[in-house]
Structure 1
Amino acid sequence: MLSDHDYQPCARKSSLKGFLKAFKGKGELQALLQELRETQTQLLQLQPVLKHAVYALPVRYLPLVLCSNPARSGVSYLRWRNLDNNRSGSAALEEILTKPDTSPALRKALLAIERQRQVLNMQLAVVTFMRRRIGQLTDVDLDFSLK
């Protein structure tokens, strides 16, 4: 499972203070863009940590696996896959969670992994969106001066 320690490299370098300010030029935007690239790389490095955590839990005995699927943005997001039929594992996950014979420990472990998967995917989506938008701004010759 992911811990605060796993996020330390991202948290140390990333700060909303660097984003919520008046940008005085293209150079500042490019610096923020570089910081976002580094943050995205660090977040992507957390994916294998979460995928390997699945094997340490009782989840490893289920026909589910966490895998990375690339999106149109070029970034890979974690998804559940159903090993029985190689389809999306979301339905299988929900079925396992709602079965009355699923142990409370297994249900708790699955919900914890699912929560962390969703949070990590959301963090990647936000950083990817910001990179795309700021990248568009740095590609355009913007004049920030008030003439």
Structure 2
Amino acid sequence: MKKLISGFLLLLLLALPARAQDAFTAALPGLAGGFGEAATAVEQLGASADPRALPVLRAMTDGKLLKTPEGALRLPQGDGFVDPATGQPADATGAETVRLNNRVRQALRGALGQLQIVSPDAGERLAAAEGVFRSRSAASSSGTLAAL
């Protein structure tokens, strides 16, 4: 009986990282959608605390995140592009910059702040906290308060 319970607990522990990975990959397609969907996806990525979200959101903020005609995302890396979900090299032929509006920009400020709030650099943490509170996003503010 102890072995059965131990095995079950081990399976649960192994499943935890998979859930975090799923939250990141599940939110990514929303970035290629309409403005409302993109803003929601940005907030989900910020709340995910997944370190893979930071370069994606920074690229989006800088106008460097691309969307293919099929709706796949392409993240610049070195001289080429990668699929942000897999990290594997990917073709960006025909891809266009992911468009932003003010709602998405506001969500980006809050999400980036959430992800940067745990930085070892005190100056970056302070700037991140100020950015989150300026964004006035309830989701971002609650995540920041939890991190503090």
TM-score normalized by structure 2?
Answer: 0.31
TM-score normalized by structure 1?
Answer: 0.31
RCO comparison, higher one (Cα < 8 Å, 6+): 1
Larger Cα-atom Rg? 1
